[in-house]
Structure 1
Amino acid sequence: MIAELGHFALTLALAVALVQTVMPLIGAWKGWPGWMAVADPAATTQFLLVGFAFAALTHAFVTSDFSVALVVSNSHTLKPMIYKISGVWGNHEGSLLLWVLILALFGACASWFGGNLPPTLKARVIAVQGSIGVAFLMFMLFTSNPFDRMPLPPMDGQDLNPLLQDPGLAFHPPFLYLGYVGLSMAFSFAVAALIEGRVDAAWGRWVRPWTLAAWVFLTIGIALGSWWAYYELGWGGFWFWDPVENASFMPWLIAAALLHSAIVVEKREALKSWTILLAILAFGFSLIGTFIVRSGIITSVHAFANDPERGVFILLIFAFFVGGALMLYAMRAGVMEAKGVFSTFSRESALVLNNVLLAVSAFVVFIGTIWPLVAEMLWDRKLSVGPPFFDAAFTPFVVALAMLLPLGASLPWKRAELGKAMRPLWGALALSVAGGALTFAVQTGQSALGPVGLALGLWVVLGAASDLWLRCGRGSIGQRLGRLTRLPRADWGKAVAHGGLGITIFAVAALTAWQVEDIRVVKPGDSFEVAGYDITLQGVREVQGPNYRSTMAEMRVRDGSRNFTLFPEKRIYPVAGMPTTEAAIDYGFLRDVYLVLGDPQADGGWAVRSYIKPFANWLWGGCIIMALGGFISLSDRRYRIAAGSRKAPQGVPAE
C-alpha cells in the first residue's frame, strides 16, 4: 500500500509541477500577482510530494519489501542497514528519484529564501525549475518507475552491487547530486533573466550563491568518489579519467568559471552574455553527465543503467532545455550589452583569462570523453582515450591557471599596473621557486613533476595568503591583524578556497611523481622491503562477514621503531556472486602505506601489491579546504539570496 501511495505522490507531483511551470509564467507575462504567487505553494507542494515518494521507497528498502521489483534487484535481508538505505539510490530508478527530490528541493528553496527577488523574476525562476521537474518526473513515471511491483514476490532479494556496499558510496551520490542538480538553479536564473530581458549587477549577485552552493557540493561529491576509488577498488589510484568521473568533473570546471564570471557581472556589469552562456552550459554538462551514466553507451563501475531508450529520453530533455535556452540566448543578445570597460591589465582581464582556461579545459575533457563514441558511430572504429591523453592535454591548463591565480586575485578593477600588482607577491614567488628548486635538488633520478607541483602549490597558497594580508591595509602588525579578523567572510572564503586548490595541485603532483609500487608473490612468513618499510605476511585466513566471505591477510609493517598490522582482504558476496578487493591502508600525514592481497599462487604464495603513497591525504584535505572556503563565502550575508541586492532594475522588460 505504501508503494502505491508513493507512486500516486509522484503522479500528483507531476501535476503540481505543470501548474508550477505554467501559471507563474503567464502571471509574470500578464502582470497578474495572484498567478505569480502560485509559484511559492506549488514549489513547496512538489517538494513535499516527491519527499513522500522518496520516504515510501526508503521504507520499502528498510523493511525488505520484496513485492517491489527495485528492492528485489538491489537489496537482501542480510545486508547491513546502512546499505539497505543507500540501496535506495544505488540504482537507476532510485537515484533518479533522489535527483528529482533534490531538484524539487532547490525549487522550494528559491521560494523560501527568494523574498528579495523581484516578483516577476522569482516567478519565472521557480517556473523554469518546475519545467525541469516536469521533464524528469515524466522520464521517471514513463520509463523508470521505482514502484513497479513483482507479480510473484521472491523470498529474498538479489543484493546490491558489492562495490556499492561501502560508506563512501552511501554519501557520494547525494552530495554529487546536490551539485549536479544545484546547477539547475543557475540555469533557471539565466533563462528567467533572458525571458525578462534584464541581466544586470543585481542578477549577478543573485545567481552567485546558488552557483557557489552547487560548486561546493559538487566538490565534496567528487572528492568522496575519488576517495572511494582510492581505497575500495584496490588499484591504488584516486582518478582514472573514467567517462563517468569526467561527467562530474566537466560541470565542476564550468561552474568554477561561472562563479568567477558572475563576479565581473556584479562588480562591473561586463561579461553578461558570457556568464549567461556559462550558466546554460553548466546545466547542459550536468545533463550530459546524466546521459552518460544512464544511457548504457559507456561501460563503467559508476554507470546505473544500460537501456538506450532511456538515453534517448535524456537526449530529448537535453535538446529541449539547452537548445531552447540557446535559442532564447540568441534572441536576447541585445539586452546583454556590456557596460563596464577595462584595460588589458585589470582584474576583469584576469577573470576573462581564468574563464577561458577553465572552459577550454572542460571542453578538452569533453572531447576526450566523447571521441571514442564519435569514432565508433562515424567510422566504426574502436578507440580508447585514456589517462595519457588527459594528463598531457589537461595539465597545461592547470599549470597556467595556477600561475595566473595569485596575480589575478591581487589586480585592481578596471586598470592595473603589472609591476605594482606584483610588488606584494615577489616574496611568495621567491619562496615558491626556492621550495621547488630545493625539492628538485634533494630528489635523485626522479621526475620534475614533484618539484614543479610543489612550486605551483606554494605559489597559489602563499599568493592567497598575501592577497588576504594586502587587504588589511597599512599600519603596525597588530593593527593589520585586527583588520584581518574583520575582513568580509567572502574574502576569507576566496583565500581558503584558493589555498585548498594549491594544496590539491601539490598533492596530485606528489602522488604521481613520488609514489613507490611493488608487486610480488609472498608466502606466509616471508618478509620484503619497500621504500624503507619492512613488510611481513604473517598469514592468511578465512573470515565470515554479515553478507560476504572474506580471505583476509595479516601483514605486519615495521617503519623504524614503529610497528603496525594491516589486514587486506578479498571478499566474495555469495548472493551477487561477485568478488571485491579491500585494500588495507595505514593513513599518515606525510604518506599512506597501501597493501592489496591478490590471488593465491600454485606454490602456496599470494600475490601482493604494495604502495607507498606520499601526501595522499593532502589531496582530500585540499578538496575539503576548497569546499570549506565555499561555505565560508556562503555565510557572508551579502552573498546569500536573502540579502540580494535591492538595486533598481535596469533595462527594458520583455513584456
Structure 2
Amino acid sequence: MTAEIGHFSLILSLSMAILLSVLPLIGLSRGNVILIDSAKPLSFGTFCLILVSFVTLLWAFYTHDFTLSYVVMNSNTQLPWYYRLSATWGAHEGSLLLWVLIQAGWTLSLAIFSPGIPQKSIAHVLSIMGMITAGLLLFIIMTSNPFLRTLPFFPVDGNDLNPFLQDVGLIFHPPILYMGYVGFSVAFSFAIASLMIGNFDTSWFSWSRPWTTTAWLFLTLGITLGSWWAYYELGWGGWWFWDPVENASLMPWLAGTALMHSLIVTEKRGTFQIWTILLAISTFSLSLLGTFLVRSGILISVHTFASDPSRGMFILLFLVCVIGGSLLLFALKVKKVRVQGNFELISRESMLLGNNVLFIAALVVVLVGTLLPLVHKQIGLGSLSVGAPFFNILFAWLMIPFSFFLGIAPIVRWKRDRLSRLIKPVLIAGLISLIFGALVIFFFLEHHTSMVYAGLVMVFWVVILHFFGLYERIIHCQNFIKGINRLKSTYWAMMFAHIGLAITVIGIVIVENYSIERDVKLALGERFQIRDYEFYFQKLRNKDGPNYEGYIADFEVSQRGRYINTLQAEKRFYTTSHLVTTEVAIDVGIMRDLYIAMGDRLDEKHWAVRVHYKPFIRWIWIGSLFMVLGGLISVFGRRKHCCKLAETGSW
C-alpha cells in the first residue's frame, strides 16, 4: 500500500506543478489577485506531495520492500540501514526523485524567503520553476517510476547496492551536488521572468544574486566531496580524472562562477545585463546537459545511472524545450534591454569582464573535450580519445591571464582608474612573486619545470595583491580595528574565495608534478621504500562485513627508522553482486599523504601493492573549503542586507 501512496503522491504533485505553471500566469494576464497569490500555496503543496513520495520510497528501502523493482535492484537484507537509506538515490529512478524534491524545495524556499520582492514578480518566477518541476515529474512518471511492482512474484532478497556507492561520502555527495545543479534554476527563472515581463532594471539581478551564490557554494562543496571520494575509494590515487561525468559538473560550475561575478557588476554598476541573462540561461542549461550525459546511456562511467535510450530521448527533448525556448525568448526580447552604465578600459568592470571571458573559454575547452568524442563516434567516424593532456595544457595556458585579472581586480576602482596609480603595486607584486616562486623551488622542491614555477608565481601574485588591497582599505581609516570592522561581508567573501582558489592551485601544481606512484610486488615480511618512508608488509588478517568477505593487509610505516603509523589496506568481495573493491589506507598529513592500495594476489606468496606519495594533496580540498566559506559569508551577509532593505521598503 505504501508504494501506491508514493505513486499517487507523484501524480498529484504533477497536477499541482502544472497548476503552479499556469494559474499565476493567467492571474498576471487578467489582473486576478487570487490567482497571482496562489503561486506560494501551490509551491508548498507541490513540495509536500513530492516529500511524501520520497519518504515512502525511503521507508520501502528501510523495511526491505522487495515487491518494488527499484528496491530489489539496489538493496539487500544484509545492507546496513544507513546504506539502505542512501540507496534510495543510488540509482537512476531514486536519484531523479531526489532531484525533483530538491527542485520543489528551492521553489518553496524562494516562495518563503523572498522579502521585498513584489508579489507579481515572485509569481512569475515561481511559475517558471513550476514548469521545470512539472517536466521532471512527467519524466519520472512516464519513464523512471521508482514504484513499479514485482508482483505477483517477488524475491526474498535484493541484488545489493553498487559496492562503490557503499561509502559515507556517497551518502552526502549526490544530494549536495544536486542542490547546486538545481539551485541555478532560480537564477534561470529570474532571467526568463525578466525577459517575459520586459523589465531589466537591477532589482531582478539583486534578487537572484544570493540564490545564485547559494547554488554555487553547494555545487563547489559537491564537486569537492566527489573529488575526495574518487581519491580514497576508487584506489587509483587520483583526485580528478577528466571523466566526462566529472566534466558535466565542472561546466555549470565554470558558468555559475562567471554568472556570480557578472551579477555583481550588474547590481553595482547597472551594466552587463545581456551578458548576465545569457549566463543565467547557460548555467542551468549546462546543469540539464549534465543530467542528459549521466542518464542517457551514451557514457560508460562509474558515475552514470541509466542506459535506457528512451530515457535519454525524453531528457534530450526536455533539454531542447528548455534551452531552445529560453534562447528563442532571449533572441526576441534582447533588443529591449537597454545597456546602462559605462566604464573605461582601466576599471574593475574590465577586469571582471576579462575573467568572465576566460571562464567561458575554459568552459568551451571542457565542453568540446567532453562532447567531441561522443559526436565523433555517433556520426560513425570511430572512437576518438580526448584525455587529460588536452585539458591540462589548455587550462594551464588559460590560468596565466586568469591569474593576472584575478590578482589585479580587487585593487582597481569601479568605472575608471588611473594606470599610474596601479603601476607601483603591480610591479612590486610581480617582482616579489617571481622571487618567492624561485625561493620555494630552490629551498623546498627537488626539481622544477616551467609549469611549476609559473603556477607558484601566479599563486603569489594573487595572494600578494589581495593583501595589498586589504591594506589599502584599512589605512584609509587611520585605525586598524576600525578599518577591519568597516569592511563589508562581500569583501571578506571575495578574500576567502580567491585565497581558497590560490590554495587549491598550489595543491594541484605540486601534487601533479611531485607525486610518486609505484606498483610493487610484495610478500609478507618484505619492505619497500619510497623517498625516506619505509613500508613493511606486516601481516594479513580476515575481516568480513555484513554483506561482504574480505581481508586487511597491515603495513607498518616508518621514516628514517622512526615509527609513523600502521596502515590497513583492505580488499572486499561482495557476495551478492560478486564485485571486488579496494579500500585504501591513507596516512593523512598537511604536507603529504602516504597512500596504499592492495591489488590482486600474484602467486602463493606475493601480492600486487600500489604505493603513493602525494605531497600537498590536502591543499586541494582545503582551498575548496575556503571557497565554500567565502560563499557562506556572501550569502549570510547578503541576507542581512536584504532584511534591512525589506524593513525600509526600498529595493
TM-score where L is the length of structure 1: 0.96
Contact 1:501 1:622 in 2 (8 A): yes
CA drift at 1:348: 0.8
Equivalent-residue separation in structure 2 for 1:306 and 1:433 (angstroms): 51
Aligned letter for 2:219? L
Counterpart of 1:538 in structure 2 is 538
Equivalent-residue separation in structure 2 for 1:418 and 1:172 (angstroms): 46
Counterpart of 1:653 in structure 2 is none
Distance 1:59 1:642, change over 3 A: farther
CA drift at 1:562: 3.5
Which structure 2 residue ranges, 5 or more long, are not aligned?
Answer: none
Counterpart of 1:223 in structure 2 is 224
Contact 1:433 1:455 in 2 (8 A): yes
Counterpart of 1:256 in structure 2 is 257
Equivalent-residue separation in structure 2 for 1:387 and 1:570 (angstroms): 29
The farther-off stretch of 148-157 and 124-133 is 148-157
Counterpart of 1:447 in structure 2 is 449
Matched, 1:368 2:369: yes
CA drift at 1:647: 9.1
Equivalent-residue separation in structure 1 for 2:302 and 2:476 (angstroms): 55
Aligned letter for 1:257? A
Equivalent-residue separation in structure 2 for 1:8 and 1:182 (angstroms): 27
Contact 1:543 1:549 in 2 (8 A): yes
Contact 2:441 2:447 in 1 (8 A): no
Aligned letter for 2:538? Q
CA drift at 1:385: 1.0
CA drift at 1:498: 0.7
Counterpart of 2:54 in structure 1 is 54
Distance 1:10 1:638, change over 3 A: closer
Q: Which of 455, 461, 469 in structure 1 is aligned with 2:463?
A: 461
Counterpart of 2:269 in structure 1 is 268
Equivalent-residue separation in structure 2 for 1:279 and 1:639 (angstroms): 24
Counterpart of 1:109 in structure 2 is 109
Contact 1:553 1:567 in 2 (8 A): yes
Equivalent-residue separation in structure 2 for 1:410 and 1:433 (angstroms): 20
Contact 1:468 1:491 in 2 (8 A): no
Contact 1:113 1:641 in 2 (8 A): no
CA drift at 1:27: 1.5
Contact 1:497 1:625 in 2 (8 A): yes
Contact 2:352 2:405 in 1 (8 A): no
Instruction: Spell out the pairing of 1:131-142 with structure 2 (5 A cutoff).
Output: 131-142=131-142
Matched, 1:338 2:339: yes
Equivalent-residue separation in structure 1 for 2:544 and 2:255 (angstroms): 46
Equivalent-residue separation in structure 1 for 2:235 and 2:50 (angstroms): 37
For 1:552, what is the secondary structure of its paired residue?
strand
Instruction: Spell out the pairing of 1:73-472 with structure 2 (5 A cutoff).
Output: 73-151=73-151, 152-424=153-425, 427-442=428-443, 443-472=445-474
Instruction: Spell out the pairing of 1:465-504 with structure 2 (5 A cutoff).
Output: 465-474=467-476, 476=478, 479-504=479-504
CA drift at 1:429: 3.7
Equivalent-residue separation in structure 1 for 2:475 and 2:37 (angstroms): 47
Counterpart of 1:590 in structure 2 is 591
CA drift at 1:422: 4.8
The farther-off stretch of 137-146 and 429-438 is 429-438
CA drift at 1:603: 5.5
For 1:300, what is the secondary structure of its paired residue?
coil
For 2:157, what is the secondary structure of its paired residue?
coil
Contact 2:235 2:584 in 1 (8 A): yes
Equivalent-residue separation in structure 1 for 2:150 and 2:354 (angstroms): 56
The one-character-per-residue Cα deviations of 1:462-492 (angstroms, maximum 9, x if unpaired) are: 333332332224254xx12332133211111
Contact 1:407 1:422 in 2 (8 A): no
Equivalent-residue separation in structure 2 for 1:481 and 1:407 (angstroms): 25
For 2:546, what is the secondary structure of its paired residue?
coil
Contact 1:117 1:644 in 2 (8 A): no
Equivalent-residue separation in structure 2 for 1:422 and 1:287 (angstroms): 44
Equivalent-residue separation in structure 2 for 1:380 and 1:463 (angstroms): 49
Distance 1:29 1:640, change over 3 A: farther
Which structure 1 residue ranges, 5 or more long, are not aligned?
Answer: 650-655
For 2:363, what is the secondary structure of its paired residue?
helix
For 1:537, what is the secondary structure of its paired residue?
strand
Contact 1:406 1:467 in 2 (8 A): no
Query: Percent identity of the aligned residues?
Result: 44
The structure whose RCO (Cα within 8 Å, separation 6+) is larger is 1
CA drift at 1:325: 0.7
Aligned letter for 1:466? F
CA drift at 1:393: 1.8
Aligned letter for 1:279? A
For 2:543, what is the secondary structure of its paired residue?
strand
Aligned letter for 2:464? L
Equivalent-residue separation in structure 1 for 2:563 and 2:216 (angstroms): 41
Distance 1:289 1:172, change over 3 A: same
Equivalent-residue separation in structure 1 for 2:649 and 2:510 (angstroms): 48
CA drift at 1:644: 6.1
Instruction: Quote the RMSD (CA, aligned, Å).
Output: 1.7
Equivalent-residue separation in structure 2 for 1:175 and 1:425 (angstroms): 39
Distance 1:374 1:637, change over 3 A: closer
Equivalent-residue separation in structure 2 for 1:360 and 1:158 (angstroms): 44
Equivalent-residue separation in structure 1 for 2:137 and 2:325 (angstroms): 19
Equivalent-residue separation in structure 1 for 2:475 and 2:268 (angstroms): 21
Distance 1:605 1:644, change over 3 A: farther
Equivalent-residue separation in structure 2 for 1:256 and 1:647 (angstroms): 30
Distance 1:643 1:215, change over 3 A: farther
TM-score where L is the length of structure 2: 0.97
Contact 1:425 1:466 in 2 (8 A): no
Counterpart of 1:8 in structure 2 is 8
Number of residue-to-residue matches in the alignment: 647
The farther-off stretch of 633-642 and 250-259 is 633-642
Contact 2:37 2:123 in 1 (8 A): yes
Contact 2:504 2:624 in 1 (8 A): yes
